[in-house]
Amino acid sequence: MHAIRIHRYGTPDVMELEDIPTPEPGSGQILVKVEAASVNYADLMRRSNTPYPFPTPLPFTPGSEVAGEVAALGSDVAGPPVGTQVFALVGRDGSSGYAQYALAEATQVIPIPPTLRANEACALVVAGATALLVLREVARLQPGEKVLIPGAGGGVGGYAVQLARLLGAGQIVAAASSASKRAAATALGADHVVDYTSAGWFEQVREVTGGHGVDVALEMSGDPLFAQTLACLAPFGRVVVYGMAARTPLRLNDEQTLRFFYAPALNQSLLVFNLGLWFGLRPEATIAALGDLIGFAATGQVKVQIGHVLPLAQATEAHRLIEARQTTGKVILRPWDN
């Protein structure tokens, strides 16, 4: 089978298209014929040897999300039956998503309805589930509250704008780095947009919220944007950290520590989210969120965000596009396309 392999850490050029043996499912595993593979920022971090959360040993195939059909079952796996269309989280056994076939633990395979195509499943499931769980379960967004969504041009951010509206947010402020991404956020339902690369953007957030600040803020960049996001919080506000795009470890300085631990009048909260751990510890809540997402997409309440669809051989270009911030929505690789 064709697969992208990484034998040394570095720039996108270290990824090579190779022919490797097709894996066979072992105990508790399912082999998936991959029709679409998501490209995530975590893939870029692993490729460049940025811990996420730990270094990935060489050599490896990147990619953690795929959609396709069940090709084979491990001897002790009852289903889903061969031929079933599924979404899967992969990557624990050295056979990951940038490939024509990938192994997944049976517990990490989710059947998808015929109405949801492979590209859409890859674009919706993880990014959408992250956005919904962060807003509804972690931040516990309440009707009428004000919410700040940085990175609104990305996969999670685009869904968060739409889902915040469905959850009854009173005011949605989206932050993005380019005019096209800010326009896309407005089209998805943001009430206000700001450029988080401009000086004092957090002051604009406080201004458009009437000096109140936001009740919920999402954070996926790390320093220095983390400190600026904190400046947008209202009393009783919650900031949820779900990523580290700046590739710098998040550390609370003395002022930020005082904000959370020694300024009780503010009553603000710092929360963190990891989808993989959430899925492992709270599978029922995750499956419920996925069911809601699929329903939202089927009824048109949530638009599936697909930016670029490229053949597997262009994985290098996919990484370059993301690093250059030239994408809006999910980037998808198609392993069987030429």
Q: What is the CATH number of the domain that holds 159?
A: 3.90.180.10
Q: How far apart are CA 252 and CA 255, in angstroms?
A: 8
Predicted pLDDT of residue 256: 60
Q: How far apart are CA 112 and CA 132, in angstroms?
A: 18
Predicted pLDDT of residue 324: 87
Regarding whether 206 and 106 lie in a shared domain, the answer is no
List of the chain residues with pLDDT < 70: 51-53, 92-95, 221-223, 244-265
Regarding whether 106 and 138 lie in a shared domain, the answer is no
Domain span including residue 319: 2-111+305-334
Name the residue among 35, 46, 52 with its Cα closest to residue 5.
Answer: 46
Is 282 among the domain residues? no
Tokens encoding 211:
């000096």
Predicted pLDDT of residue 251: 64
Is 121 among the domain residues? no
Per-residue b or e along 43-68, where b marks 16 or more CB atoms closer than 10 Å to that residue's CB: bbbbbbeeebeeebeeebbbbbbbbb
The domain total for the chain is: 2
Instruction: For 19-31, write each residue's pLDDT tens digit.
Output: 999 999 999 999 9
Regarding whether 188 and 99 lie in a shared domain, the answer is no
Regarding whether 233 and 142 lie in a shared domain, the answer is yes
Regarding whether 268 and 166 lie in a shared domain, the answer is yes
Regarding whether 248 and 142 lie in a shared domain, the answer is yes
> Strand (E) positions, 94-157?
101-105, 109-111, 146-150
Predicted pLDDT of residue 40: 87
Is 0.75 topped by the overall pTM?
yes
At which of 254, 275, 296 does a domain end?
275
Regarding whether 256 and 167 lie in a shared domain, the answer is yes
Is 119 among the domain residues? no
Regarding whether 205 and 320 lie in a shared domain, the answer is no
The answer to whether the beta carbons of residues 38 and 309 sit under 8 Å apart is no
Is 229 among the domain residues? yes
Regarding whether 259 and 189 lie in a shared domain, the answer is yes
Regarding whether 223 and 320 lie in a shared domain, the answer is no
Q: How far apart are CA 143 and CA 135, in angstroms?
A: 11
